[in-house]
Amino acid sequence: YTTRNVSKAINNPKKEMKLPVVLSIQEIKLLLNSLKTDSVAEIRNKAMIEVAYACGLRVSELVNLKTTDLHLKQGLINVLGKGNKERVVPINKQAIDTLKLYLSEARPVLIRHLRHDYLFLNSHGKCISRAGFYQILRKKGIEAGIKKKITPHMLRHSFASHLLERGLDLRLIQELLGHEDISTTEIYTHITNPQLKDTYLKAHPRARQFPKE
């Protein structure tokens, strides 16, 4: 018998790191290129998906955007994140063009007689819900022929992963995502880049000596 706490000597098994599921750049292109603008609802859907990926937004940040948050001439939008912390993020030209189309052709139809500043609206003219966007995104993923079950957060993960693949500094990605702690952003460094081996094999002078799988 011993009074020593033997539990301290036992190593607790480390929790396996669950890596984010991301869309490849090709899958993102497939999704975005499949989006139509032939109706008010389709224009809205395209604008929401474009903005979500272009800015790496959480779904709550996306659905709570206001028209007053947009600074399209400057290529920027204000985002209210977790803990009511505001950040400013850039937005690309494709997303800006789709937003302009939405603001001129779709939102005025959706809002009807209501008065408020919410940007993305449902068929009743009210702020679209998170569940509403999830359903839109899931449907559009299926229509685009993407096998993965696309979620709003998957677009955010893809945004971060693709920027990291292209060499953007991790600290900048942290700021864009609105992460409080850099360790939250560092998880994207563990995502295997499927293009990495191909790039290495083409670039390294001795790479051809590696056996083929």
Beta carbons within 8 Å of 61's beta carbon, 6+ residues apart: 79, 80, 81, 178
Q: What is the pLDDT of residue 86?
A: 94
Which residues carry out catalysis? Answer: 58, 82, 153, 156, 179, 188
Q: For residue 90, which amino acid is it?
A: P
Q: Are strands 76-80 and 70-71 parallel, antiparallel or unpaired?
A: antiparallel
Give domain status of residue 37, yes or no. Answer: yes
Strand order of the β-sheet with 76-80 is 70-71, 76-80, 86-90
Q: What is the pLDDT of residue 200?
A: 53
Q: What is the pLDDT of residue 171?
A: 87
Give domain status of residue 182, yes or no. Answer: no
The conformation of residue 58, written as its DSSP 8-state character, comes to -
Q: What is the pLDDT of residue 188?
A: 76
Chain-centroid distance of CA 58 in Å reads 7
Q: What is the pLDDT of residue 211?
A: 44
Give domain status of residue 109, yes or no. Answer: yes
Rounded Cα–Cα distance for residues 88 and 78 (Å): 5
Q: Are 44 and 181 in contact (CB under 8 A)?
A: no
CA 171, 175, 181, 187 torsion-angle sign: negative
Give domain status of residue 4, yes or no. Answer: no
Give domain status of residue 110, yes or no. Answer: yes
Which structural domain range is residue 108 located in? 25-155
DSSP string, 83-126: GG-EEEEE--HHHHHHHHHIIIIIHHHHHTT----BSSB-TTSS
Give domain status of residue 134, yes or no. Answer: yes
Give domain status of residue 195, yes or no. Answer: no
Q: pLDDT tens digits for the chain (213 residues)?
A: 555 554 444 555 555 557 778 999 999 999 999 999 999 999 999 999 999 999 999 999 999 999 999 999 999 999 999 889 999 999 999 999 999 999 999 999 999 999 999 999 999 999 999 999 999 999 999 999 999 999 999 999 999 989 888 888 888 889 899 888 887 787 777 664 555 555 555 665 555 544 444
Sort residue 3 into left (φ over 0), alpha (ψ -120 to 50) or beta: alpha
Give domain status of residue 78, yes or no. Answer: yes
Q: What is the pLDDT of residue 133?
A: 98
CATH number of the structural domain spanning residue 46: 1.10.443.10
Q: How many structural domains compose the chain?
A: 1
